[in-house]
C-alpha cells in the first residue's frame, strides 16, 4: 500500500501540474469572482466562504479523471487488480494520493485566498477545519466517479455530472460551518456532521469503487 | 413478456379512468380554498407527480439491487425504463410547484429545502440516464448504473437532510412548504387519492411498456449479432 502511495505521489509530482494545476485553477477562480460581482468589501465578505468551497470543489474535480485513466490505458490497473493487494485497498490509496496532491494543498492555500476575498478574520480557523475534514470526502467520492467513467473515451463531462450531485452534502456542511463561524455562531454541529460524511465515504466507497473497477476491467 | 401483454392495456385503461375521474372531480367539483382560491387545485397534479418522482427512484433502487444480487436481466432493463419516467415526474412536480408558487409566494422559485432537494433529485436522474447512454456494453452499463443508483440513493438521502440543515441556517424555521396530506380536508382528499392512484397506474403502465420495448430492442440486437456471425 505504501509503495503504491509513493508511486502515485511521485507520478503526480513528476508529471508536472499535479500540485500546481489545481492550485492555479483555484487562484484563477478566486481572482475572477471580484470581476464578476464587484470589489466591494460588503459584497465579497459574505460570499467568500461559499466561493472558496466551490473553488476547492471544482479544483478537486479537475484532476479526477487522472486518477485511473493512465493506469487503465497502460494496463497497470489490471496488474493492480491481480496483485495480492485487495482492490479496495488500492482504491483507498488512490483516493489518499489524490487528496495529498489536491485536497491538502488546497486546504493549506485556502486561508491565503480567503485573504484575497476579504474574508472575516474569525472564519479562517473554520475554513481550515472544514476543508481539512471535507476534502478527503471529495477525493474519495471523486475516486468512485473516476472508476465509473474509466472505460469511457470522453468521460470528463459525464464524470462531473455524476460526481457533483454527490458533492452536495459535503459542500453544504462545509460552507455552512464557515458561514456560521464567520457569523460568530456555533459551527461544531456542521463540522461534526461533515466529519460523519467523510468517515462514511471512506467506509463504504472503497468497496463500491473496487466493484466498479472489477466490472470495468472485465 | 407473456403476462404483461394482456395486463398492459388494462393498466393504461385504469390509469386513464382514474386520471380523468380524479382530475375532473378535483378541478370542477371541489370548492375553492378560502385562502388560496382555485390555485389549490394544482395539488391534483403536483402531489401525485412528486410522489411518483420519489417512488420511481425507489423502484430503480430495488430493481438495481435485484440485478446486482440475482442478475435478472429484466430488472436492469426495468430500472433503465423507469428513469426517464421519473425525470418527467420530477419536472412536472417542479413545474406545477412553480406555477403554484408564483401567485401564492410571489415567486417562481425559492431555495426552500423541498424544492432544492427535488432539483438535486433531478440531477441524480440526469447522471443516471447519462451513464446508461454512455456505455455501449449492456451488461457493463447495467452493472455500473446499478452501483451508481445504490450509492446515489445514499447520497440523495444525505443531501435531503443536509439541505434541511442548510436552509434552517438561513431562515429560522420559516417553512413555506404545504404539508398537504395532514391538513387537507376530505373534499380535497378523495379526488387526490384517485389522482394518486391514476399516477401510480400510469407509471406502472409506462414502465411496463418501456421495459417491453427494451427487451425487444435487446432481442433484435441479439438476432442481428447472430445474423452477422452466420
Distance CA B227, CA A200 (A): 49
Chain B touched by A47 (CB under 8 Å)? no
Q: Give the span between the Cα atoms of B5 and A213, in whole angstroms.
A: 38
With an 8 Å Cβ cutoff, is A180 touching chain B?
A: yes
- Of B5, B17, B39, the C-alpha closest to B178 is B39
Taking the CA of residue B44 and the nearest CA in chain A, the distance in Å comes to 30
Q: Residue B76's closest CA among B148, B167, B13, B162?
A: B148
Angle at A136 between CA A92 and CA B116, to 5 degrees: 120
B155 contacts on A by Cβ (under 8 Å) = 165-166, 168-169
Using the beta-carbon criterion (under 8 Å), do A151 and B135 form an inter-chain contact?
yes
| Chain A positions in Cβ-Cβ contact with residue B83 (cut-off 8 Å) | none
**Nearest of A95, A92, A90, A67 to residue A80 by alpha carbon:** A90
Task: Give the integer Cα–Cα distance in Å for A163 and A152.
Answer: 15
Pairs from B169-178 (Cβ < 8 Å, separation ≥ 24): B169/A176, B169/A179, B169/A180, B170/B111, B175/B112, B176/B105, B176/B110, B176/B112, B177/B112, B177/B113, B177/B114
Name which of B144, B118, B131 is nearest B50 in CA terms. B118
The beta-carbon neighbor of B159 closest among A169, A204, A212 is: A169
CA B192, chain centre distance (Å): 17
Burial (CB count within 10 angstroms: exposed 0-12, middle 13-18, buried 19+), residue B33:
middle
Burial grade of A153 (CB within 10 A; 0-12, 13-18, 19 or more)? exposed
User: In which region does residue B173 sit, left (phi positive, over 0), alpha (psi from -120 to 50) or beta (all else)?
Assistant: left
**CB distance B114 to B39 below 8 Å:** no
User: In chain B, which residues have pLDDT < 70?
Assistant: 1-2, 33-37, 167-187, 230
**In angstroms, how far is CA A24 from the centroid of its own chain?**
15
Question: Which residues are B176's β-sheet partners?
Answer: none
Of B77, B81, B55, the closest CA to residue B66 belongs to: B77
Integer Cα distance of B34 and A121 in angstroms = 51
| Alpha carbon separation from B91 to B77, B96, B197 (Å, rounded) | 22, 8, 19
The answer, for A50 touching chain B at a CB cutoff of 8 Å, is no
The residues of chain A scoring below 50 in pLDDT are none
Q: Kindly report the three-state secondary structure assignment for every residue of B166-212.
A: HHHHHCCCCCCCCCHHHHCCHHHHHHHHHHHHHHHHHHHHHHHHHHH
The one-character DSSP state at A183 is T
- Nearest residue of chain A to residue B133 (CA atoms): A158
Cβ pair B140:A149 closer than 8 A = no
Best residue in A162, A173, A213 for a mutation probing chain B (most B CBs within 10 Å): A162
pLDDT, tens only, A61-104:
888 888 888 888 888 888 888 888 888 988 998 899 889 888 88
Of A197, A215, A216, the CB nearest to B158: A197
Task: Write down the H helix ranges in chain B.
Answer: 4-28, 43-70, 73-105, 113-134, 138-170, 180-183, 186-229
Task: In whole angstroms, give the CA distance from residue A98 to residue A61.
Answer: 11
Chain B interface with A: residues with Cβ < 8 Å: 120, 123-124, 126-127, 130-131, 134-135, 140, 143-144, 147-148, 150-152, 154-156, 158-159, 162-163, 165-166, 169
DSSP, residue by residue, A51-64: HHHHHHHHHHHHTT
| Distance of alpha carbon B84 from alpha carbon B68, whole angstroms | 21
Local structure of A100: helix, strand or coil: helix
Task: Determine whether A154 is exposed, middle or buried from the number of CB atoms within 10 Å of its CB (0-12, 13-18, 19+).
Answer: exposed
Residue A217 CA to residue B67 CA, distance in Å, equals: 19
Question: A179 vs A190, B4, B166, CA distance in Å?
Answer: 10, 54, 10
pLDDT at position A16: 59
Amino acid at each position: 500500500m505504501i509503495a503504491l502511495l509513493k508511486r502515485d505521489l511521485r507520478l503526480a509530482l513528476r508529471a508536472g501540474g499535479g500540485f500546481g494545476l489545481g492550485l492555479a485553477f483555484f487562484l484563477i477562480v478566486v481572482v475572477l469572482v471580484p470581476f464578476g460581482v464587484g470589489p466591494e468589501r460588503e459584497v465579497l465578505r459574505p460570499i467568500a466562504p461559499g466561493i472558496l468551497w466551490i473553488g476547492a470543489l471544482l479544483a478537486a474535480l479537475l484532476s479526477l479523471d487522472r486518477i485511473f485513466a493512465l493506469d487503465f490505458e497502460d494496463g497497470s490497473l489490471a496488474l493492480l487488480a491481480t496483485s495480492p493487494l485487495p482492490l479496495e485497498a488500492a482504491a483507498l490509496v488512490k483516493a489518499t494520493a489524490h487528496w495529498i496532491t489536491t485536497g491538502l494543498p488546497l486546504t493549506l492555500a485556502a486561508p491565503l485566498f480567503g485573504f484575497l476575498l476579504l474574508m472575516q478574520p474569525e472564519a479562517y480557523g473554520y475554513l481550515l477545519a472544514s476543508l481539512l475534514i471535507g476534502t478527503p470526502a471529495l477525493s474519495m467520492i471523486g475516486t468512485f466517479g473516476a472508476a465509473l467513467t474509466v472505460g469511457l473515451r470522453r468521460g470528463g463531462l459525464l464524470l462531473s455530472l455524476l460526481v457533483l450531485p454527490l458533492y452536495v452534502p459535503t459542500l453544504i456542511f462545509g460552507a455552512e460551518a464557515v458561514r456560521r463561524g464567520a457569523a460568530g455562531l456555533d459551527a461544531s454541529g456542521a463540522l461534526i456532521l461533515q466529519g460523519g460524511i467523510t468517515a462514511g465515504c471512506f467506509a463504504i466507497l472503497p468497496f463500491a469503487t473496487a466493484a466498479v473497477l472489477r466490472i470495468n476491467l472485465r | 413478456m407473456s403476462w404483461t401483454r394482456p395486463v398492459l392495456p388494462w393498466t393504461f385503461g385504469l390509469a386513464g379512468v382514474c386520471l380523468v375521474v380524479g382530475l375532473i372531480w378535483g378541478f370542477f367539483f371541489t370548492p375553492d380554498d378560502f385562502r388560496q382560491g382555485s390555485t389549490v387545485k394544482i395539488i391534483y397534479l403536483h402531489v401525485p407527480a412528486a410522489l411518483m418522482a420519489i417512488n420511481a427512484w425507489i423502484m430503480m433502487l430495488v430493481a438495481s439491487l435485484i440485478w446486482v444480487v440475482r442478475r435478472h436481466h429484466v430488472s436492469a432493463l426495468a430500472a433503465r425504463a423507469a428513469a426517464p419516467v421519473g425525470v418527467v415526474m420530477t419536472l412536472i412536480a417542479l413545474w406545477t410547484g412553480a406555477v403554484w408558487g408564483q401567485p401564492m409566494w410571489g415567486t417562481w422559485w425559492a431555495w426552500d429545502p423541498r424544492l432544492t432537494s427535488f432539483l438535486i433529485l433531478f440531477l441524480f436522474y440526469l447522471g443516471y440516464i447519462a451513464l446508461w447512454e454512455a456505455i455501449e456494453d449492456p451488461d457493463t452499463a447495467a452493472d455500473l448504473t446499478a452501483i451508481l443508483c445504490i450509492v446515489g440513493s445514499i447520497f440523495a438521502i444525505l443531501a435531503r437532510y443536509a439541505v434541511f440543515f442548510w436552509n434552517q441556517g438561513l431562515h429560522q424555521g420559516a417553512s413555506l412548504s404545504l404539508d398537504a396530506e395532514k391538513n387537507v380536508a376530505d373534499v380535497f382528499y378523495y379526488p387526490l387519492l384517485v389522482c394518486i392512484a391514476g399516477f401510480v397506474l400510469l407509471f406502472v403502465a409506462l414502465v411496463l411498456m418501456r421495459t417491453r420495448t427494451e427487451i425487444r430492442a435487446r432481442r433484435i440486437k441479439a438476432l442481428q449479432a447472430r445474423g452477422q456471425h452466420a
